[in-house]
Amino acid sequence: MARKLFGTDGVRGVAGELLTAELALALGRAATAQAGADRPRVLVVRDTRESGEMLEAALAAGITSAGGDALVGGILPTPAAPLLLDRYGFDLAAVISASHNPFADNGIKFFGADGFKLSDATELAIEQRLRAEHGQPAWAAHADTSALRGSPRPERLGRVHRLHGTQEDYLRGLHERFAGLDLSGVDVLLDCAHGATYRVAPEIFRRLGAAVTVLADEPDGRNINAGCGSTHVDALAAAVREGGHDLGFAFDGDGDRVLAADRTGAVVDGDELIALAALHLRAHDRLPGGGVAVTVMTNYGFHTAMRAAGVQVATTKVGDRYVLEALRARGWALGGEQSGHVIDMGFVPSGDGIASALLTLEALAGGDLAHREAMEKLPQRLVNVRVVDRDGAMASAELVQATEREAAALSGRGRVLIRPSGTEPLVRVMVEAPSAQEADEVCARLVATVATAAG
């Protein structure tokens, strides 16, 4: 039986429509019961969306109704969850966030006691538990609460506890990892996307000695990711260049992604950040297994650079969960995505935007990001086409034929990749070619075909 509720990064949807308080309560109850501990201790953290407080309260109610204790940690980046799980031995963590999505969306993703996101099998078991307890799935009826009545009462109810000092715990973890990094004299610009990094990111850079200027650090519940952060990195790039900063970093709403800009305003994506990290860690004998895991979206130039450096590369489906699976299977520690998820399992088993930014500075060792030479990128064009039916568009014979035709024309010189988003109603069209002009032309033709196929 396939999962219907969980996507590639937890449960995500419009808050108050798909993702209701009733569904959050049911998820909290089912996930806690699935945790298996006698009295599960479940950490709950969130980003800055206005719906976060509602979902936090509902999750806590579900956790306690299943006999678990809800430990509410407040606003924290997603990667703080696995760090705190390890530090305090909690049984489960729930992160309330829709990452880079607009404020109206929200999501719930779970981490197990080992610090990793729950497996597909565990998420399926949670869905099956929901069906067994509530019959007609609550999410199928959106805000219909009638399907959520009649769950059995546990022998004892849990409690809700407010955790204090969680931000300091996370900052301490970062400081311990990068204790040898001296940022004195570094002028850095940070874009916090009005999200979960707005306090902790500037603080750790200042503690390490950097001169810090901050953008998008005044969340109001609705401005998260709005014209700022890693999904609008051009704003950071322009501000770095115009302000004369050494470099800049843009995080996403929940802080598990980062993109950079050098002093000239050139954007540095996840591929380049991973390449920098890989070569740095390998040079210092800190790249376990001598390999990295990346996704099918990774630029061909990355593969060329790693091959030249003697670094093995594993390629996965898009999604940090699949990168993590590849890393665990091989005993490797470094991987990530072009979008800015950079995973260093030597710190936490999750993308961590702040840690990745610091790792970039560690790799530069006082050098200029504008002079990076880790890889040479093949011109790439990526366009997201909004559609009503992702699967229908992908199954179109016209699109299949067009894709095969363009891929054959680029064989040996570039590549074409068309895939549905796992979290949004989008079809992503990606083209790499020897020249930017050819990449643009091929991409434009395929985008038009997707639009026609989507009706």
Tens-digit pLDDT profile for residues 154-194: 778 999 999 999 999 999 999 999 999 999 999 999 999 99
Please tell me whether residues 226 and 330 are part of one structural domain: yes
User: Is it the case that residue 106 has pLDDT exceeding 80?
Assistant: yes
- Mean pLDDT over 13-33 rounds to 96
Q: Let me know if residue 2 belongs to a domain.
A: no
Please tell me whether residues 209 and 141 are part of one structural domain: no
Helix axes 21-35, 120-134, angle to 10 degrees: 120
Q: Let me know if residue 6 belongs to a domain.
A: no
Q: What is the pLDDT of residue 320?
A: 87
Q: What is the pLDDT of residue 404?
A: 96
**191 CB-near residues (< 8 Å, 6+ apart):** 214, 215, 216, 228, 229, 230, 233, 235, 236, 239, 248, 249, 250, 251
Q: What is the pLDDT of residue 135?
A: 62
User: Is it the case that residue 364 has pLDDT exceeding 50?
Assistant: yes
Where is average pLDDT lowest: 34-38, 50-54, 404-408, 445-449?
34-38
Q: Let me know if residue 350 belongs to a domain.
A: yes
* Reported confidence tier of residue 137, pLDDT bands at 50, 70, 90: low
Which structural domain, as residue segments, surrounds residue 262? 169-371
Identify which has the larger pLDDT, 240 or 38.
240
Please tell me whether residues 359 and 419 are part of one structural domain: no
- Mean pLDDT over 26-37 rounds to 94
Mark 415-440 as b/e (b = at least 16 C-beta within 10 Å). bbbbbbbebbebbbbbbbbeeeebbe
Domain end among 112, 145, 164 = 164
Q: What is the pLDDT of residue 136?
A: 54
User: Is it the case that residue 291 has pLDDT exceeding 80?
Assistant: yes
Give me the CATH number covering residue 116. 3.40.120.10
Please tell me whether residues 178 and 296 are part of one structural domain: yes
**35 CB-near residues (< 8 Å, 6+ apart):** 42, 68, 91, 92, 112, 113
Q: What is the pLDDT of residue 153?
A: 64
Please tell me whether residues 159 and 175 are part of one structural domain: no
Please tell me whether residues 367 and 384 are part of one structural domain: no
Give the C-alpha separation, 386 to 277, whole Å. Answer: 34
Please tell me whether residues 182 and 144 are part of one structural domain: no
Please tell me whether residues 125 and 273 are part of one structural domain: no
295-328 per-position pLDDT tens digit = 998 998 899 899 999 999 999 998 888 999 999 9
Please tell me whether residues 174 and 196 are part of one structural domain: yes
Q: Let me know if residue 242 belongs to a domain.
A: yes
72-87 per-position pLDDT tens digit = 999 999 999 999 999 9
pTM, two decimal places:
0.88
Domain end among 164, 190, 215 = 164
* Catalytic center residues: 99
Domain count, the chain: 3
User: Is it the case that residue 228 has pLDDT exceeding 90?
Assistant: yes
C-alpha distances (whole Å) from 314 to each of 263, 307, 430 are: 32, 12, 20
